[in-house]
Amino acid sequence: MFSQTSEAVQPNAGGLIKDTTTATFRDDVLAESTRQPVLVDFWAPWCGPCKQMTPVLEKAVTSAAGKVKLVKMNIDEHPQIAGQLGIKSIPAIVAFQNGRPVDGFSGALPESEIKGFIERLVGPVENETDALLAEAEAALEEGRPQDAGEIFSEVLHTEPANVTAASGLARALVSLDRASDALSVLETLPAEAASDAKVAAARVAVDLALQAANLGDLGEFEKRLEANPEDHQARFDLAVALNGRGERPAAADALLYIIKKQRTWEDDKARQQLLQFFEAWGPLDQDTIDARRKLSALLFS
């Protein structure tokens, strides 16, 4: 069984990342940039944004797999080059090609923008992490949560803060009836990750799974409905339990029945629950699309 979390593994620079000085700048940057672009990161120990951007920048360079190198220069110890380039604020990144500066930016940028900056220099960069995440998502969609979980865990081994991998692992664990483990995975993420749409959807899926686990066997609700087809609470609980078993269309239909019969039941409780299903399933999931179409037909007919 795959693990849930792993310790961080430092990026394997493989010669792609190094420090430089005024004395070695010519060899490390000017000469090296005749072979591939070299990014020079001008930073200082007191610079908070520099510390914030360093892991993101190093990750982007490592992901470029040798198409670009990163050279770091502490401007407190070596101010001359930064002065010659007119750098007035840090962090500042200057790209060198063929021995001269060709592009740059200042300030801490998000990973996507740094990747875009690198791709302007070297063309499209194949990201191994993105490929693994796509493979894991495909495995989940194909009903192979064990395979998906192993791949998500592999990503988390090298990127413990990857919210896409963590949320995907949580969803895989839910599919394997391990909702408590899934909750533990999500709780390892920083508080700010809660606003990420994928993390929020995974959290809803975990909550629904835990809710379904507390309901017990479906037989009780089916018997109650046989005795009274208008027992909305029994049908509501049946919907939650069905969703917990992966029977999404049947779960949606049970809630849609309640909405059709009594929209205002328990302060619109059935519709609110259905919207939670949609959030957990994802907006592009076919079951979401089908059920949302049925819901719209009911509400606007």
User: Which two tokens mark 292?
Assistant: 């949302």
The edge-to-edge listing of strands for the beta sheet with 92-97 is 17-19, 69-74, 38-43, 92-97, 100-106
Active site annotation includes 158: no
CA distance 166 to 277: 20
Q: For residues 237 and 270, is the Cβ–Cβ distance under 8 A? A: no
Set 17, 38, 40, 50: catalytic member = 50
Residue 65 is a catalytic residue:
no
Which helix (H) or strand (E) element contains residue 27? none
Q: Where are the alpha helices (DSSP H) in the chain?
A: 25, 48-63, 80-84, 111-122, 128-141, 145-158, 163-175, 179-187, 197-213, 219-227, 232-244, 248-261, 269-281, 286-299
Q: For residues 215-230, b (16+ Cβ closer than 10 Å) or e, as one string?
A: eeebeebeebbeeeee
Torsion of CA 266, 270, 275, 280, to 10 degrees: 110
Contact indicator for 169, 185 with CB cutoff of 8 Å = yes
Candidates 38, 39, 40, 47; catalytic one: 47
Token pair 């796509």: residue? 134
Residue linked to tokens 């060899």: 27
Both tokens of 94, joined, read 């200057």
Q: How many Cα atoms sit within 13 Å of 76 on the Cβ side?
A: 5
Say if CB 253 and CB 274 are below 8 A apart: no
User: Does residue 86 sit in helix, strand or coil?
Assistant: coil
Residues marked active site are found at 47, 50
